Amino acid sequence: MNHWIKYPKLMILGPLAILLVALIACGSSATATPVPSTGDTSATAAPTAVPASGDKSAPAATAAPTKAPEVVAKLSGTLNVGQKELGPYFGSPKISGNPQIFLNSAAPITETLGIHAFEGNELLPGLAESWEISPDGQIWTYQIRKGVQFHKGFGEMTAKDVEFSFEQVAYSEKHARASIAKEVFFNENGSREMPDDYTWIVDTGTPFSDVGILELMGMPRSVCAWIVSKKQYEQDGEEEANRNTAATGPWQIGEWKTGEYWEMPAVENHWRQTPNFAKMVAWEIPEESARVAGFQTGTLDTFVMALDSIPEAEKVKGATLLQVPNAMQSQLNFYGNLHLKEEDGYQVWDEDRDHPWISPNSDVDSPEWADAVKVRKALSIAIDRQSLIDNLLLGFGHPNTLQGWGGPDEARYDADMVWEYDPEAAKALLAEAGVADGFDITLTAPIRGAPSELEACEAIAQFGDDIGINVKFQNVPYGTLRPTLVARTYRGATCHAASIRLAPTQGFASYLNASPFSYGAEHDFLEENIAKAKASILRADREAGRRSRSVELR
């Protein structure tokens, strides 16, 4: 399923997003592939464990996952997986960067309190058997699953490990939801208690919407808080725990080499499900053609692919295409609209007049603001979303309206939230904004594992060129791009793939100054109203607030 996204009314960032479906082709199991002997070696000597990571949205969890089947035969065989990017293995929730954050959150090495069910877009029990929320939305009580063992002999997971892991995320300088974790779970006006080893009670200090909390609780997601062993950190130190992490997933990290592979032995008698292979090896293979060739020859059993590789992969005898619905979206973000006042303790707004998509005036009623909105809207309606879906994405997906949200709410959106493809109107908007002759803009597509992210971004660059904008397209590793987004120094646009949210308000932290990660827009309006949305425990209240504040901005 594919999604386009737009931010209504305020339009601080040019909306629009297209969801890129995560696809994996599966073949028959292959024998173990020899490990390459070249490349930078940053491997642990012993196997290592990696962290994988309305009214109320799922206020309580009740369903219990299926018990792992008894192991009746010794595991054998190796599952070889082709990945676009791996890098070194880092497993600390606090100091992991990207792509490790993305991979740890999504990989089956680590787990967290809940499991995100893509089909129903709901959160099911994981390392927490259940959770309850007090009527005022302030007290969360988690019942931690008993008997779950950490990798590498570090014993049973308890509530102490859960609190420790969430604290690691809360004080991370790299995790995209660090500010949410700190504000919710470690609020200076709140508290935490553990009446026993399997109960964790969190008082958030003030009523807090469940949507941000549930996002941290669900795997596989790129922003979850994965659980690691506190004992390992205390016994072996942060560095060893980061490179040889003891987590709880059905696979644990073994030997790894930077830029080459991560080797992951299976965990027998795992509480959730024992793998069907003795070992999984993820190989870093940046070139799409090389991954396809590996699958065709049997060197790879499965791999992350671009959509146009499907015909070749389907020719392999016994191949099965695995499609995950509602797994991902890709949005176009514009960076540089950082409109916060110095006297409020935020960074100084430098009144950028060099980039026409950035308003040099923070007043949303000013002519400068209106011109910047016209520029961003022009870039949006210049993109033929349906053509991208039909031709580039082979029909996998559809245009979406609201960033990050995959729910069935299309009929509830305001009419002006949907922007139809109209290149002539886009040119007219540019003329009205005083840039009829175009301008330069850098569009960055990060190198990482999101299928077709690069190809879709290249097409978007061409749409910009078609209306007279000089789009400087670049493709760089996400680990290179992300620090500039965190530091708020990037001025341009990005194609950014992300997971679908459990509720529309999830992900709003990336528009707050306190967030390590940024979508490129900060404003007093957002600081005030996102805080109100986060404190609204009822969906009806959030809806009423959105509509009333939208009217004010028209």
**What's the pLDDT at 383?**
95
- Confidence grade of residue 223 (pLDDT, cut at 50, 70, 90): confident
Neighbours of 516 (CB within 10 A): 18
| Average confidence score pLDDT of the chain | 78
**pLDDT top residue among 201 and 504:** 201
Among 112-126, 228-242, 303-317, whose mean pLDDT is lowest? 112-126
- Confidence grade of residue 307 (pLDDT, cut at 50, 70, 90): confident
pLDDT in tens, 443-460: 999 887 666 788 889 999
- Confidence grade of residue 540 (pLDDT, cut at 50, 70, 90): low
**What's the pLDDT at 104?**
72
**What's the pLDDT at 120?**
64
Q: Is pLDDT above 70 for 553?
A: no
- Confidence grade of residue 550 (pLDDT, cut at 50, 70, 90): very low
| Domains of the chain in sequence order | 23-323 (3.40.190.10), 329-553 (3.10.105.10)
Rounded-to-integer distance, Cα 61 and Cα 114, Å: 9
Percent of the chain clearing pLDDT 70 (strictly above): 74
140 bridge partner residues: 133, 202
Q: Is pLDDT above 70 for 134?
A: yes
Mean pLDDT value of segment 238-266: 95
**What's the pLDDT at 517?**
80
Mean pLDDT value of segment 1-10: 24
Q: Is pLDDT above 90 for 335?
A: yes
Structure tokens at 349: 């707004």
Strand order in the sheet with 114-117: 122-125, 114-117, 218-219
**What's the pLDDT at 392?**
82
Residues sharing a CB contact under 8 Å with residue 330, sequence separation 6 or more, in sequence order: 17, 18, 19, 20, 450, 453, 456, 457, 495, 496, 497, 498
Mean pLDDT value of segment 55-72: 44
- Confidence grade of residue 356 (pLDDT, cut at 50, 70, 90): very high
Question: ω into residue 93 within 30 of 0, thus cis?
Answer: no
**What's the pLDDT at 516?**
77
Q: Is pLDDT above 80 for 467?
A: yes
What residue type is 328 in one-letter code? M
Structure tokens at 418: 């949907």
**What's the pLDDT at 106?**
65
The pTM (predicted TM-score) of the whole model is 0.68
**What's the pLDDT at 210?**
72
**pLDDT top residue among 187 and 213:** 187
